[in-house]
Amino acid sequence: MIVGASSGIGLAAAKKFIESGDIVYNCSRRKSPLEGIKNLTLDIVNTPDIRQRVEEIMENEKRLDIVVNCAGFSMAAPVEYVKSEDYRYLFDVNFFGAIELIKAVVPNMRPAGGKIILISSLGGVTPIPYDPYYSASKAALNILAEALSFELEKQNIYITSVMPGGTKTDFSFKRKIYKEEEVKQYEDDFRNAVSSLQHIEQKGMPAEAVADTILYVADLPNPPLIVASGIKNKINNGLYKILPRKVTHAITKMRYNLRP
């Protein structure tokens, strides 16, 4: 079961699972274009939808071995002017939807065990200027995976948070970006940050590389709790852990072309 296999990382992962001979369900608002995939309509913020789709899969297949949650929403806005309905929706998609998904699949995985893979982001470790809500939601996914492992591993259910860095997908162009009149005095830094983020993503790793990490995790008997996807992201993740915060803060400001 892949939540969000209609595009981007989810689509790339679904293709590789199908090529491996797996039965793959795409659960998203839009159909996946892949031949051989089974499409079920799902809005991750609608809890009854989640439960119904899991029940349908169990009715059809009698088992659920791997769940990959690729649902995501990104938004650029200064905190002074951000609308509460926007950041609450972001957390509904990126974090609370993941919790409801896990709640729905765990009872069905318990008899035979399984893997739950959450697509987080290196942005959950290295903060993204003017999109702190996205960074915070992905950091929350990371700690969620670590904490839930204490509950789930005894049931032979393994949970992993996979952290891509900048990835070249259409996600860059679906981000909600506040307009000039909405960001006011933050305009210069805001536009630099948004432009830099899009550049980082579009010059980043292909979705297929992240999909390889997902399949790697899915095949491991005892996968890691958190894993960065790609050598460059593993290095960046490691450096962020050991470098002083003032240093990483200065690097981030330069990376996003923020004024001193």
Q: Is 203 a catalytic residue?
A: no
Give the helix/strand (H/E) hosting 192. helix 187-202
Q: Which residue has the tokens 């999909």?
A: 211
Cβ(3)–Cβ(69) under 8 Å?
A: yes
Q: Is 25 a catalytic residue?
A: no
Q: Which residue has the tokens 């998203």?
A: 28
Tokens of residue 75, six digits: 């938004």
Catalytic residue of the set 6, 121, 135, 229: 6
Catalytic residue of the set 15, 32, 138, 161: 138
Nearest to 76 by CA among 195, 203, 253: 195
Q: Is 256 a catalytic residue?
A: no
Q: Is 121 a catalytic residue?
A: no
Residues 121, 30: Cα–Cα separation, whole Å = 23
Catalytic residue of the set 130, 133, 134, 186: 134
DSSP per-residue codes, 49-103: HHHHHHHHHHHHHS---EEEE-----EE--TTT--HHHHHHHHIIIIIHHHHHHH
3-state secondary structure of 214: helix
Catalytic residue of the set 32, 74, 120, 121: 120
Report the first-to-last Cα separation within the chain, whole angstroms: 46
Query: Catalytic residue numbers?
Result: 6, 120, 134, 138
